[in-house]
Amino acid sequence: MSHESRRSNPVSPMNAELTALFERLLRESGSVESTEWDATDSRLGPAAYHDPAILELEKLKIFRRLPLCLGYADQLREPGSVLARDLLGLPLLITRDRSGEVHVLLNVCRHRGARMVKDENELCRLNSLSCPYHAWTYELNGALRGVPTPIAFPRLDKGTSGLRKLPSVVRHGFIWAILDPDQTGIDVAGFLGGIDDDLATLGLGEHYFFRQRVQRRATNWKLMLDAFQETYHIKKLHAQTIAPFFTEVNPASEAVGLHTRILVGRDRLADAEHLPPSQWDLRRHATLTHVIFPNSLLIYHPDSTSHMGMFPIGPNEIIFVHTMFIPEDAKTEKQIAHWERNFAMIDGGVFSAEDLFISEQIQIGVACGANDTLVFGRQEHNLRRFHENVRAMIGGSE
Ligand code: FES
Ligand SMILES: [Fe+2]
């Protein structure tokens, strides 16, 4: 490897937990079964994917309560950046104010409720937020700056009439928020538990935003989480794209509270057997995935990193947000073309045309009543645990 490529492609640093997971992947690479497989297969009723009552409980007890990852803060790199996006029925405004602070606000005017900025998923640059109805104007941190004809509002308290704010924080480069304006605090480190140190060790906060694509797709949010928690499908579904890069070796995965780490062997895994742990590379000898409960996935490709967020609209529909970030800023035409190809392959070729495609097919299948139950094989244990966690949080039983 040349000096230059070595510099731009350093081995990703690992903490003790990731090193132990890598060690287990190598140790078990010769086994047909894995020590982590379930004792037997398990069953799930298809209603989990299409019952509107279940989704309502999930929204109430999971999506409105837990910190959700809304994106990568470097997307709003410049002060004055504003992103309007409706998620889970809430019109949101994500802003970076002039002092550089990021805010997550409700995109709703405090006068008579008009939407402040259109939800077109395009980043805009604004000095302030001016309502299109009667021009009440707010700072980018949500504070009410002024109203036309102030003598018409003799009892208006400007101090309490700013845009409603959601508890939010930037941590490891990501924007996290709790989608409930009545909650006051947000503890992302506590919520992430052991994953928090993984993200710090991997230095995710120092990457650069490259691209984001937002799609409305006809599938249940949990089907896309299922798709990234087992590797059983790679050889078939991804035969024409990424399958040749992966081994038949069982992945090594583990629960970290509600979250999961999964390490899948790549075609170069065997090279690592002869290297000291300091040279094990979890982007090139293997591929790491973090499943962050409830609806986020982080995938560490050889060069770039993907965040995927699944935001339910209805039981049969999601907003799928895929963000790619990269270790060095793409500035030249050549660099941009390189990362565009990378994004097109991963976003268009793999996630959209294969994983989202099959999830939409399954959605039709589960809703039509063909199957009384769906079967998770012993090696699909991460899915069983994920669905158990969802059920426990919404108070259901099966
Ligand atoms: S609704 Fe916004 S200014 Fe009237
Ligand atoms: Fe897949």
Q: How far is C-alpha 164 from the geometric centre of its chain's CA atoms? A: 24
Residue span of the structural domain in which 167 resides: 68-186
Ligand nearest to the CA of 308: 2
Domain boundary among 134, 163, 186: 186
Task: Answer yes or no: do 39 and 179 share one domain.
Answer: no
Atom 1, ligand 1: residue with shortest CA distance: 112
Are residues 230 and 290 both part of a single domain? yes
Domain count along the chain: 2
Please indicate, yes or no, whether residues 74 and 54 belong to a single structural domain of this protein: no
- Which pLDDT band, with edges at 50, 70 and 90, does 6 fall under? very low
Residue 179 Cβ inside 6 Å of ligand 1? The answer reads no
Per-residue model confidence (pLDDT) at position 396:
63
Q: How confident is the model at residue 224 (pLDDT cuts 50, 70, 90)?
A: very high
Q: Is the pLDDT at 233 greater than 60, yes or no?
A: yes
Are residues 216 and 178 both part of a single domain? no
Instruction: Tell whether the model's pLDDT for residue 252 goes beyond 90.
Output: yes
Q: What percent of the chain has pLDDT over 90?
A: 95
136 lines ligand 1 (CB under 6 A): yes
Under 8 Å CB-to-CB from 16, ≥6 apart: which residues?
none
Judged on CB neighbours under 10 Å (0-12, 13-18, 19+), 312 is buried
Pair (163, 299) in one structural domain? no
Helix, strand or coil for residue 85?
strand
Q: Within this chain, do residues 142 and 257 fall inside the same structural domain, yes or no? A: no
Distance 233 CA to ligand 2 centre (A): 7
Query: Is residue 317 located within the same domain as residue 261?
Result: yes
Ligand 2 centroid–CA 230 distance in Å is 8
**4 has pLDDT over 90:** no
Average pLDDT taken over every residue of the chain = 95
- Give the pLDDT score at 397: 52
Q: Are residues 347 and 241 in contact, defined by beta-carbon separation less than 8 angstroms?
A: no
For residues 115 and 252, membership in a common domain is answered with no
Q: Which ligand is nearest to the CA of 297?
A: 2
* Region 260-286 average pLDDT: 96
351 and 216 assigned to the same domain: yes
Tens-place pLDDT, residues 60-69? 999 999 999 9
DSSP string, 153-176: -TT--GGG-SPPB--EEEETTEEE
> DSSP 3-state assignment of 130?
strand
Average pLDDT over residues 184-192: 96
Q: Which of 159, 186, 213 is the last residue of a domain?
A: 186
Residue 105 confidence (pLDDT) above 70: yes
Closest CA to 205 of 165, 176, 166: 176
Residue 136 CA to ligand 1 centre (angstroms): 6
Report which ligand 1 atom has the smallest distance to the Cα of 131. Answer: 2
Residues 6+ apart with CB under 8 A from 87: 68, 70, 179, 311, 319
Confidence of residue 3 (pLDDT cuts 50, 70, 90): very low
My answer on whether 31 and 82 are in the same domain is no
CATH number at residue 56: 3.90.380.10
| Long-range contacts from 86-94, C-beta under 8 angstroms, 24+ separation | 86/119, 86/319, 87/179, 87/311, 87/319, 88/59, 88/63, 88/64, 88/179, 88/311, 88/312, 89/59, 90/179, 91/115, 91/119, 92/166, 92/177, 92/179, 93/117, 93/129, 93/163, 94/70, 94/175
Q: Say whether both 277 and 390 belong to one domain.
A: yes
Question: Taking residues 392-396, what's their average pLDDT?
Answer: 89
Closest by CA to 347, choosing from 327, 363, 324, is 324
pLDDT digits (tens, 9 = 90+) for 301-344: 999 999 999 999 999 999 999 999 999 999 999 999 999 999 99
127, 156, 186 - which closes a domain:
186
The ligand minimizing its distance to the Cα of 225 is 2
Domain harbouring 75, CATH code:
2.102.10.10
pLDDT at residue 1, rounded to an integer: 35
| Whether residue 33 sits in one domain with residue 117 | no
**CB of residue 43 inside a 6 A radius of ligand 1:** no
* Across 367-393, average pLDDT: 97
Which protein residue's CA is at the shortest distance from atom 3 of ligand 1? 134
Check pLDDT > 80 for residue 5: no
Give the position, in ligand 1's atom list, of the atom nearest the Cα of 147.
3
Ligand 1 pocket member 134 (CB < 6 A) = yes
Q: Is residue 324 within 8 Å of 305, Cβ to Cβ?
A: yes
